[in-house]
A and B are shown apart, each in its own frame.
Chain A
Amino acid sequence: MKLNKTIIALAISAAFLSACSDTDEKDASLTDGSLNANSGINDASTNGLNKGYGMNGSTMNGDYASTLGPEFNDPNNPLSKRTIYFMLDSSEVMPDFVTVISAHSQYLIANPSQHITLEGNGDERGSREYNIALGEQRAKSVASMMKARGVSENQLNVVSYGEEKPAVLGNNEAAWEKNRRVEVAYQPR
C-alpha cells in the first residue's frame, strides 16, 4: 500500500528545476570558456617560456661560469664551488662555506660588471610558501656576507625557489641536504 504511494510520488521540485537550469547555463559557459582558456593561456605561457627556455637554471649559468676562466673549473679553487648548503630550517651560513663566499666576493669586486643571482632553495619538508621564505633568507644571508666583503649591491640579485627546484629527487636526508642550498649563478655579461 505504501508502495502505491511511492509510485505516484515522483516529486518534481520547481525550485530544483530552476536551480538546475542556472547550473546548466553556468556549466555550459565554463566548458566553452575553459577550452578558450586553455589555448589562451598556453599561448601566453609558451611565449613567455620560449623566450627564457634554455637560459634558466644551473646548467646554462653553470656553463657560463665555467667559461669565465680556468679557476672556475679547478676543483682546488673555491670558485669552482658554486653551491652553499644549509642545515634544516636554518639560513645561517656554516663555517665550511665562508671560503667559497669570500672567493666569489673577491672575484665580483675585481669584476664590477659581473652580476650574479643567488638562488635560494629548500628541502621538500614543511609547507611550500614557508620554504619560499626560508630559501630567500638563505640567499639573503649569502648576499649580506658578500656585501660585508665589499661586493656592490648592484651586482647581486636574489631569488627563492623554495622546494620547487630540487637539485636531487628523493625523500631521504641524503637528498634533502643537497636541496637545502643557495646556488651562485653567474649571469652572462
Chain B
Amino acid sequence: MSFFNKFLFLVAFSLSATNSHAALTIEISEGVSSTLPVAVVPFSSTGASVNISAIVNADLERCGYFKMMAEQAMPSKPNTASAVNFNEWQSASQNYLVIGQLADAGNGQYNVQFQLFDVYKSGQLLGYRMTSSAADLRKTAHHISDLIFEKLTGKKGVFSGRIAYITTTNPGSKQQSQQLQIADADGFNPQTIASSVEPLMSPSWSPDGKRMAYVSFERKSAAIYVQTLATGERLRVAEFPGINGAPAWSPDGTRLALTLSKDGSPDIFILNLSTHSLTKLTRSFAIDTEPSWSPDGNSIVFTSDRGGKPQIYIVSSQGGDEKRLTFSGSYNARASFSPDGRNLVMVHGNGNDYRIAIMDMSNKSINVLTSGRSDESPSFAPNGSMILYASKKGGTGFLSAVSIDGKIQQKLVFNSGEVREPSWGP
C-alpha cells in the first residue's frame, strides 16, 4: 500500500459534432502515487472539430502514470517554444510540458505539431509535425499520446489500439439483442460489426488486426465466423454438431485453435484457414476448451477439468504430452500469454469469487490482481502493461483494466447496456 495511494476521479469526455455516439467514461480507481506531473497546454487551433490536446490530456490522465495539470491552474498558455517560460512551469511543480498547434491546411487536411519539454532541464524531449485528415484527428491525437507515453515511460503506448467487446441492448426485454462492437481504446467511435438476437461470443483479433473470429448462435446452434473488418465479408469456418467455440488465432494468422465437441467431449482442434484441414490436439474424455497460443506459436494453453476441477494445461501446438500448469486455487480458466510470453493471465476462482490472476511462467507463482466477485475474460494490452477484463456489479457488466502489478485500476463505464468479453486488439 505504501507504493500507491487510492484516488478516484472521473474523466468525462465531451462529444464533438462528428462523434455523436459516446461510448464510455473511464474512472481511475487506483493509480501509482509516484505520478509524474505533466501539463498539456491547450493547442492553438483553427476550425477543427476535434480538441486534440484534450484527447492527449485524457489519454495521459487515464493511463495512471501521470498527474495532469488542470487548465485553470496553468500560469500561461504558450503555443510556441519561444513563448515558454520554464521558470513559471518549475514554480508550478510541473516536470513535463506539452504544447502544440493545429492549423487548417485546406482540403480537409490539418497540420498538427507538438513539442514535449523537460521543464527542469529546460529542454525539448520530442517534437513532431504531421498532417492529418479531419476524419483522422482523433487517431492523430492518440498517436501523439503514444509518442509522449513512450518517451516518458520507455514503454510503448496503447492509446492507438482498439478494443472489441460484446454488448447487450434492451437486456431482459423481447427486443434484446447482442452486438459485437469495435471501438478506439478510449471507447470512442464504437462500430457494430455483427448483431444478433441470439448470443454472440468470444471475439478474437487476428494478429494483424484486420480480421475478427467470433462465435455466433444466429443459426440456433454455435458456429465460428471469421470476418474481414474492412469489407464486412465473413466466412463460417466451423459449424459441427455440438460446441463450436473459443477461437484463438495462431501468432502467424494462418490457423485457428478452437473447441469442438463433435466427437463427444469438448476437445481442442487446430483449423488451418487456407487448407481448411482440421487437426485434433487433445483427446481427453473431460472438458478441454479455451485454447490460447504462446507468442512463438509453439505451445497452446487450455482449460481442462480432467483432474476434477478446471485447471490450466499446456501442450505443444504439434500435439504430444499435456502438462498441468496450475495447482493453486480450485478454479483456473481462460488463460492467455502476455505478449512477451513470460506470464499467463487467467480467471482464478476459490469457489466463491472469480478474479483475474497472473502467473509467472518461470516459477508458476500466481498473483491475484483484482477484487471483484465475478471477473472474467482477461485480455492483455498489446504492450503487455495492462489487462482488460469484464466485471459485474449490481447485475450490470462493465469493463475494467488493471496493470500487471495490480497498482493501476481503471473502470470503463459504458453509457448503456451490459458490456462483456473485451479483447484488446492491435
A residues touching B (Cβ–Cβ < 8 Å)? 2-3, 5-7, 9-13, 16-17, 20, 23-24, 27-42, 44-46, 48-49, 52-53, 56, 89, 124-130, 132-134, 136-137, 158-162, 164-165, 169-171
Contacts and interface: CB of A to CB of B under 8 A. Distances in A.
B202 A129 contact: yes
B221 interface: yes
A94 B74 CA distance: 68
B310 A136 contact: no
A160 B243 contact: yes
Interface stretch (B23-31, B35-43, B228-236, B399-407): B228-236
Given A7-B82, A28-B135, A49-B218, A136 B289 contact: no
Contact of A126 (B121, B198, B218, B333): B333
If over half of A's interface residues share one DSSP class (helix, strand or loop), that class is named, otherwise mixed; here it is helix
Most buried by B among A13, A40, A44, A132: A132
If over half of B's interface residues share one DSSP class (helix, strand or loop), that class is named, otherwise mixed; here it is strand
Interface in B258-298: 259, 261, 266, 287, 289-290
A49 B377 CA distance: 27
A161 B199 contact: yes
A40 B233 contact: yes
B196 interface: yes
Given A42-B195, A89-B309, A162-B201, 7 more contacts: A20-B131, A38-B193, A38-B232, A41-B232, A48-B219, A129-B303, A133-B289
15 contacts: A6-B81, A12-B128, A27-B139, A37-B232, A40-B231, A41-B232, A42-B192, A126-B349, A127-B334, A128-B420, A128-B421, A130-B287, A137-B287, A164-B201, A165-B199
A136 B86 CA distance: 66
Contacts of B171: 169
B266 A45 contact: no
A5 to B, nearest CB: 7
Contact of A128 (B135, B191, B309, B376): B376
Nearest to B397: A124
Counting from the closest, the 3 A-B pairs by CB-CB distance are A37-B232, A33-B230, A40-B232
Given A2-B122, A136-B266, A127 B219 contact: no
A24 B132 CA distance: 8
A150 B242 CA distance: 22
A143 B184 CA distance: 45
A39 to B, nearest CB: 7
B216 to A, nearest CB: 8
A125 B128 contact: no
